[in-house]
Structure 1
Amino acid sequence: MWDPGFEYVRAARATLPGWHRRMSMIATNSYGRPSRPGLAAGLHPRGSVEGVAFLVAPDKCPEILDVLSKREWAYLAVMAPMRLADGSSVRALTYLASPVNGRFRTTQPVGDFLRRLSHGVGRKGYAADYVRQSAEALSAHGVRQSDLHDLVPVIAGGTRFRR
């Protein structure tokens, strides 16, 4: 949300009904590596989640879809209905936790979860920074309470190993 990795026209707060966000993907590349796996967010059935929707220029769609398909390969791409902050409804490309991908853990022991959040580090940085930056991006769009916000104090007390 803080660095989508593509050019966009506008970003807006959005609500996706029927799904909830959970730090459930075992990350072994961007925010973790095999020796120090981290976590990334996944959208799972039930609930409702607030996030950010990006409007892109139609002529940029092929290029952006190429970027996203390479980056979000572990997720299931779907067009989903969501509600924007202005009250309008749109269908938008959304990436869900894939039920057939072995990287997603709907439940995990607390110790493993905390260790992955606190110590996971990969080519894009620490898993803890991913959580902080995501929470900050949500706050910038008016989302002041989320699962990511709830995790910030948890990781603030943790220690991290150096790269």
Structure 2
Amino acid sequence: SSSASPSVDGGAETDDRPPRTPPEISDLLSRCTLAKSAIEIWGCGRTLDECARSVASLSRHPVGRSTVDRFALPPDRSWKLTVHTLGARYDREEQDAMRAGFSFLGFPGPVRMAGPDDEYVLIREVELDVMGSPKYPRRVGKTIIPENDARPPLAAYFGRVLGGGRNWRDGLE
């Protein structure tokens, strides 16, 4: 697409051009007002376990192998795994249990929660109402609602963050 076009092709590897690099994606996102980030999805499923199995099987497929091979992490690159539990709050121990399902990835570098070289994201999607709030809230205050807590997510996704959008607060402070 031309630079004057308002739409952007994400750069799927189905044509002759090479995939977009994270700096190119960050540059594109810096010009977007409604996009928060771009994520390269490595796996998905109806549950966190299904999602983890999907990610684990990634290297068995030709496209997955090229993704994994292209992104072999050197031992000095820092990383973090962010857990997005859309519409629900989970404490640190619960989030750590979710992260543990992906420990087989064995990223070699140090974990750095602020300013890592690479960020991965685990998204747990739940049903939202028309206002964007959870249709079945997990908690009321600090009290967990057992029947709502037992509801499975709509889906779970795991991916690598390729770039973030504008931080509008930077210019306001």
Give the TM-score band, short-chain normalised.
under 0.3
Higher relative contact order (CA 8 A, sep 6+): 2
**Which protein is richer in strand relative to its size?**
1
**Which of 1 and 2 has greater Rg?**
2
